[in-house]
Chain A
Amino acid sequence: DAGVIQSPRHEVTEMGQEVTLRCKPISGHDYLFWYRQTMMRGLELLIYFNNNVPIDDSGMPEDRFSAKMPNASFSTLKIQPSEPRDSAVYFCASSFPLAGDYNEQFFGPGTRLTVL
């Protein structure tokens, strides 16, 4: 398996533009997580899905952020309009529970977003 795939790896945009980040989870994983990593706040969970359904979006900073998972193999995180304070590395991760136990989360390589 190729692991969790994220695109683009780097994104530079201007304030006010729409940004769309993409994630393909590991096949067979039914949990998908979006995280944001900054120097000031560390790694924060933004939202996670189970079987394509958003379960907890309490970490989404504001209405400018939205996430979708139209099918089991694809998710997007959209920022509209983007602001300089959104500059961060955005990670996607996936996991599946094993027989009632909790499995580890597998992380993608991240998307480094810079908003000018």
Chain B
Amino acid sequence: AQSVSQHNHHVILSEAASLELGCNYSYGGTVNLFWYVQYPGQHLQLLLKYFSGDPLVKGIKGFEAEFIKSKFSFNLRKPSVQWSDTAEYFCAVRSGANNLFFGTGTRLTVIP
């Protein structure tokens, strides 16, 4: 069965700190990978996605993620976080059928 693991449940950073959120998945075939963000009280929005090509993907708001196939990972990064990045971040994987498997999410709190 497919699964998506986000090992960091809650991350607390000060503004300007660098961010890396882990995401690992279990599936051996071709995958599409996504990071969604959910700001407090809002719905999920797409941050970035990987389908093929360059494994380093740039998203909105300065976020990027790197697909490492050998490690089954798709970690999210940002060099310098802002208070407005406080949100919950979800990694998702799609393979085969047209549905997504989501991780349990990582809550990011950025302290001004």
Contact = CB atoms under 8 A, between A and B. Distances in A.
B45 to A, nearest CB: 7
Interface residues of B, number: 21
Interface stretch (A20-28, A60-68, A73-81, A97-105): A97-105
A110 B42 CA distance: 8
A110 B41 CA distance: 10
Contacts, number: 51
Give the contact-size bracket for chain A. Answer: 20 to 34
B10 to A, nearest CB: 12
B98 A48 contact: yes
Contacts of B46: 104-105
Contacts of B98: 31, 48, 50, 55, 95, 97, 102
B43 to A, nearest CB: 4
Interface of B: 32, 34, 36, 42-46, 49, 51, 90, 94, 97-105
10 contacts: A42-B102, A42-B103, A43-B104, A55-B97, A56-B97, A56-B99, A97-B98, A102-B94, A104-B49, A107-B36
Interface of A: 4, 31, 33, 35, 41-45, 48, 50, 55-56, 91, 93, 95, 97, 101-102, 104-105, 107-110
